[in-house]
Amino acid sequence: MPNSCPQAPTSKPSPAIICNPQLLIESYSHYFNESTAGQVSRDAYNLGVKDAQLESPHCTSTESAGALAILDFGQPAYEATNIYGVYDYGYNIFLTYSQVSAATQQYIYGWQHAAASCLSLAVVMGVNSSIMCPYDRANWCYYWNGYVLEQTAATLNGEYANTGIGIVGDSDIEMDADRGYDPYSIVSQWLSGYFKGGSDLMYDYGDACQDPYAGCTAGWTPCDIYQAAWGYGYDEPVPEIYLSGQAQDWKNVQNIEGSCSPNAGAMQFSSSANESWGSQLSWQTAWSTFLNTMGSGTVVTKQDTCFPYVNTSPLSSECY
């Protein structure tokens, strides 16, 4: 990327992200819950404009600074012959990865149009681990769906090389079996497909819950959580910090790294995430709790990204 962002030591690739070490910024991320595929792209463009207008005051003309935007399109899915994509929240529509790519590009166009002094942006093409392939629970569906998303992200990344725009794949990986999220045996097949394609980075912006009384970890061990978030080599966590105990959950996972994957290196974090509706903490409190628990040496960027309520329009004012 055409900037000189100071990065914490890591063997993983880094997209264009916030790089002023003194800068703490709230950025904006979005769940898509639309009625038509065309509406997704139109909303994505408008979101890019609106987000950039709000984020630009945090950037300066002398610092190479930008933002992180997670665009969560829904559940990995399969329709017809060799057509992979996602169902958005509520199963309202099916989007092929070509349509996901087009919507991501529209977000980028809108952001560039209004970005002013912001010089870089990491766009995360997201899915979630809730009932992957809901209508066809076959092994190949998980595997090839992950692979196609990675290839889509890699193609976009190539198109935006040397522009200050980085494209990343990702998944909201949760351990909450009582809410329908899949066990590691399924999620790992999706991850294997994603990392089959090469060395494109993937963010895990889920939780690390290890409390069976909270409905978590059915089908997950602590090492499974570690592997999904870091152990594959090109995965990196953007932890959701909605509750005060969630930072400690991630610290517990970080602490077991030597026993799970001794050669993976120290786990690092690329910002944190919260929801306007699901979080019991303000983003400032969530960030300070996260930073104090993890230690600044393992947190690459100073940023928290907010998701609006899943069943409202992406253009709602909840995060703004």
The CATH code belonging to domain 25-307 is: 3.20.20
Say what the pTM is.
0.89
How far, in Å, are 149, 174, 212, 218 from residue 178 at the CA level? 27, 11, 10, 9
Average pLDDT of span 261-269: 76
Q: Which of 145, 190, 192, 202 is nearest to 14 (CA)?
A: 202
Is the pLDDT assigned to residue 290 strictly greater than 80? yes
Is the pLDDT assigned to residue 224 strictly greater than 90? yes
β-partners of residue 72 are: 31, 126
Write the burial class of residue 6 (CB in 10 Å: 0-12 exposed, 13-18 middle, 19+ buried): exposed
The pLDDT of residue 182 is 94
Average pLDDT of span 242-267: 83
**CA 144 to the chain's CA centroid:** 19
Average pLDDT of span 89-114: 90
Confidence grade of residue 8 (pLDDT, cut at 50, 70, 90): very low
Report how far residue 211's alpha carbon sits from residue 55's, in angstroms, rounded to the nearest whole number.
Answer: 36
Report how far residue 234's alpha carbon sits from residue 263's, in angstroms, rounded to the nearest whole number.
Answer: 13
Residues 6+ apart with CB under 8 A from 268: 8, 10, 12, 236, 298, 299, 300
Average pLDDT of span 39-61: 83
Sheet holding 272-275, edge to edge: 25-28, 303-307, 272-275
The CA dihedral of 206, 211, 215, 221, to the nearest 10 degrees, is 70
Q: Where are the domains of the chain?
A: 25-307
Report how far residue 287's alpha carbon sits from residue 195's, in angstroms, rounded to the nearest whole number.
Answer: 30
Strands 75-79 and 66-72: unpaired
Report how far residue 183's alpha carbon sits from residue 44's, in angstroms, rounded to the nearest whole number.
Answer: 31
Are 220 and 171 in contact by the 8 Å Cβ rule? The answer is: no
- Of 49-63, 94-108, 133-147, 293-307, the poorest mean pLDDT is in 49-63
Strands 120-128 and 94-96: unpaired
Residue with tokens 């725009």: 165
Q: Give 17 or 173, the one with higher predicted confidence.
A: 173
Average pLDDT of span 65-75: 84
The pLDDT of residue 9 is 33
